[in-house]
Amino acid sequence: MVYYHTNSRVTKNGGSMKKSIVGASLVLSALTAESIVNLAPVNVVATGVDETSLTQPVSVATKDENETKLDQVIFQKDLLNSLSGVRIEQTGSVIGHMTSIRMPIGTGPYYLFMQDGIPVQSSGFFNHNGLAYTTFQSATSVEVLKGAGTALYGSDAVAAVINVQSSKNPSKTKEVSARVMAGSYGYGSLDIGTSDTIDEKNAYRANASYMHSDGWRGHTKTDRAEANIRYDYLIDNENDVKILFNFSKTVAQQADSFNDYANIENGSTAASDDPNYFLALEKTDVERKFDYAKLSAEFNNYSVEDLEITTIPYLRYNRNRYVATWEKNLPSNDNELYTLGLIQRNTYEQNWGKIVFGFDTEYTRSSLKYNQDFDVTTTGWGAKTYTAGALYDYDVDYFAIAPYVHIDYMVTDKIKLSPGLRYDYNRYDYTNNLSPDSTDSSGTYYRPADRTDSFNHLSPKLALSYMPTKDINIYARYANGFRIPQATRLYSVKVGYENIDLDPETSNTYEIGYKQSFSKKSFLELAAYYMDIDDTIIRDKDTGGYRNGSSSIHKGVEVSLKSEITKEWESSLSYSYSKHTYDNDPVLGDNEIAGAPNHLANARLFYMPEYLSGLTLMAEWQYVGSYWMDDNHEAGRYKGYSIGNLKADYIYSKHLSLFGKVTNITDERYAVSARYAYGKEDYTPGDPRSFYFGLEYKW
């Protein structure tokens, strides 16, 4: 694999590095030029600049372009689930998802989702489907920084930072490509792209795609569009700019889960087994709609010796619409956000190491409308009558600013000390557009009067790395993290919680790790972690209100081994063991938290036969262990699942490529989510066996 850097930094011995728009090419080794797995991974997510993962005292999982292309990404899980300790599961809205990285699977804001180094949503407005905003289907690579983030990251970077990369460098010569794919259950997609280097100063890359699926279950039809544009301009020998535009739009029907596991075992294609769901379809359109657009300009300046100055202003638009099927009255949500942001980062390098310092800031204007679209009287426990009209209608002006500093200091030629510090200030200015301190007609929803809330937090970081040889890194790391209360937790209040004052959650991550490169034939990564979280914001299961709860403990071990077995065979093995418990909770004690399997594993075997150049075959095994279905441990454990996939890519010529995959090859019937809540079991079915085939033509 060949990496091209358009943002070459100032050399350590002084002087600016003269660059063309394509920049210098870095050939890592003859091995990686032919490899699917990358045995010398490089990432940018830890410090904002390209660095080899081997030398960093953090756990970063990466997947590069060759392997990503072979995965033929349709869902977020296709992009990420082969990485150690990473579990993404799709929800009933198909493109919707839940995430589990060093945490039980859930919807909480413990993850910072980014695209090309820029957050896809503001910290105070977390959407657990955040990867749906990214252009993940056309991603070129992905990085996952596990545990609390470095000093570059603030609120929500508690359990992981996920950076989806789409800004592949422009081609040296003119390229035009068309990629089509068809598959089971009415799936079809088209991607058209073009790229060129116009001259020494100008280059570009752009693509647009559209996907449609009828879905294998009732009411799961999905339509999605993505677009990426990159334009590089070399201003002079000391300045360049990279302009990026990303766009995604999703309309996805939303199926329900099953209460009877027999529907999982029988492979039912129904949207639900709950009659109330079908009554809901008669009253409203149960869909998820995600809209996203981001425009950024990355300015790099190299005029000061040994210093790279990076300034990235950006504009971002998010819109999240859905029907809240988990509420009996089926209210509709429409949350629209406009953001102006700025990332300012400076990297100063010397022979003793480097300093990365700067700040990031955002201003977001949010409007939320939560409506009762029809009159309804619910039945059963807590039955009420709801009349059509606004339940919540408010605006929030959100401001955040955070200066930070990260240092890598070489104490000796084998020992590196990496301290960091970040200070975050976050403020909400809330405006209620309904009567202040009022409730809806049912007496369920409370609308607070206008107010301002602010939060601040100081996050220290410290890591120590010991490299006895150039191929071994032994490290220890501490990182403090936090997450502020979400705007909806503060202002979408239920009756009975009118005076609740929420505090931020805080976390401490402790980690030790070992990395080794074996003669560029294998790359091993081991990490053991312990994380505690205090003042957890929890939902009262009886009233639906939120409050600060107790503490939880999260600990585990992660292993990743990538190898070139022979010139024809390669492998990638990932395994993690984790345990997530409450910490002396007054009700749950030290119970293990629901939805958290102790074991995750992924194994991939790649075959590139010499007798048929251009062909790559992959066999994959995915394993998710058993887990508790409820926190009280009354409903028992769900068994988990194990599935296999086959994938292939054949470069027939420089113009034509053929590819395809079979997922869930044994047609296993299983649940991707199993829980017990509100007196009933709840299962989200996994996808049945599916077939996909496509071709790509380049001019």
CATH code of the domain in which 632 resides:
2.40.170.20
> Could you report the per-residue pLDDT of 78-117, keeping only the tens digit for each?
999 999 999 999 999 999 999 999 999 999 999 999 999 9
CA neighbor of 595 nearest in space, from 554, 651, 567: 554
What number is the average pLDDT over the span 174-196? 98
Entry field: residues in the chain = 699
DSSP state of 67: H
Rounded to two decimals, the pTM is 0.94
Indicate whether 219 pLDDT > 60. Answer: yes
Q: How far apart are CA 529 and CA 579, in angstroms?
A: 11
CA neighbor of 522 nearest in space, from 458, 585, 566, 466: 566
The most confident of 22-36, 162-176, 534-548, by mean pLDDT:
162-176
Helices (H), 493-561: none
Indicate whether 18 pLDDT > 70. Answer: no
What number is the average pLDDT over the span 312-320? 98
Amino acid at the residue 4: Y
Q: pLDDT tier at 33 (50, 70, 90 boundaries)?
A: very low
pLDDT value of residue 32:
34
Q: pLDDT tier at 679 (50, 70, 90 boundaries)?
A: confident
Please give the C-alpha separations between residue 255 and each of 98, 196, 248, 252, in angstroms, as whole numbers: 15, 43, 22, 9
> Could you report the per-residue pLDDT of 391-445, keeping only the tens digit for each?
999 999 999 999 999 999 999 999 999 999 999 999 999 999 999 999 999 999 9
Q: pLDDT tier at 605 (50, 70, 90 boundaries)?
A: very high
| % the chain with pLDDT above 90 | 87
User: Helix (H, G, I), strand (E, B), or coil: what is residue 55?
Assistant: helix
pLDDT value of residue 24:
34
Q: pLDDT tier at 548 (50, 70, 90 boundaries)?
A: confident
pLDDT value of residue 525:
98
User: Helix (H, G, I), strand (E, B), or coil: what is residue 499?
Assistant: coil
Q: pLDDT tier at 68 (50, 70, 90 boundaries)?
A: very high
What number is the average pLDDT over the span 333-358? 97
pLDDT value of residue 536:
84
Burial of 532 (0-12, 13-18, 19+ CB in 10 A): middle
**Total structural domains in the chain?**
1
Indicate whether 21 pLDDT > 50. Answer: no
Helix (H), strand (E) at residue 281: helix 275-283
In the chain, count H helices and then E strands.
6, 44
> Could you report the per-residue pLDDT of 239-293, keeping only the tens digit for each?
999 999 999 999 999 999 999 999 999 999 999 999 989 988 998 989 999 999 9
Average pLDDT of the chain to the nearest whole number: 92
Angle subtended at Cα 378 by Cα 329 and Cα 683, rounded to the nearest 5 degrees? 70
Domain span holding position 397: 2-698
pLDDT value of residue 393:
98
pLDDT value of residue 267:
96
Q: pLDDT tier at 541 (50, 70, 90 boundaries)?
A: low
Angle subtended at Cα 524 by Cα 519 and Cα 526, rounded to the nearest 5 degrees? 150
pLDDT value of residue 586:
86
Query: Are 277 and 262 contacting, i.e. CB atoms less than 8 angstroms apart?
Result: no
Helices (H), 35-121: 65-71, 76-80
Amino acid at the residue 696: E
What number is the average pLDDT over the span 187-204? 97
Beta strands in 584-670 (DSSP E): 599-607, 615-624, 627-628, 637-638, 641-651, 656-663
Indicate whether 19 pLDDT > 80. Answer: no
User: Helix (H, G, I), strand (E, B), or coil: what is residue 652?
Assistant: coil
- Least confident interval from 190-204, 452-466, 491-505, 659-673: 491-505
- Least confident interval from 22-26, 212-216, 446-450: 22-26
Q: How far apart are CA 603 and CA 561, in angstroms?
A: 10
Q: Is the model more confident about 15 or about 628?
A: 628
pLDDT value of residue 550:
80
What number is the average pLDDT over the span 157-161? 97
Indicate whether 5 pLDDT > 60. Answer: no
Q: How far apart are CA 327 and CA 392, in angstroms?
A: 15
Burial of 429 (0-12, 13-18, 19+ CB in 10 A): middle
DSSP state of 487: H
pLDDT value of residue 349:
96
Residue 654 CB coordination number (10 Å):
8
pLDDT value of residue 538:
77
Which residues are CB-contacts of 412 (< 8 A; sequence separation ≥ 6)?
none
Q: pLDDT tier at 544 (50, 70, 90 boundaries)?
A: low
pLDDT value of residue 621:
98
Q: pLDDT tier at 618 (50, 70, 90 boundaries)?
A: very high
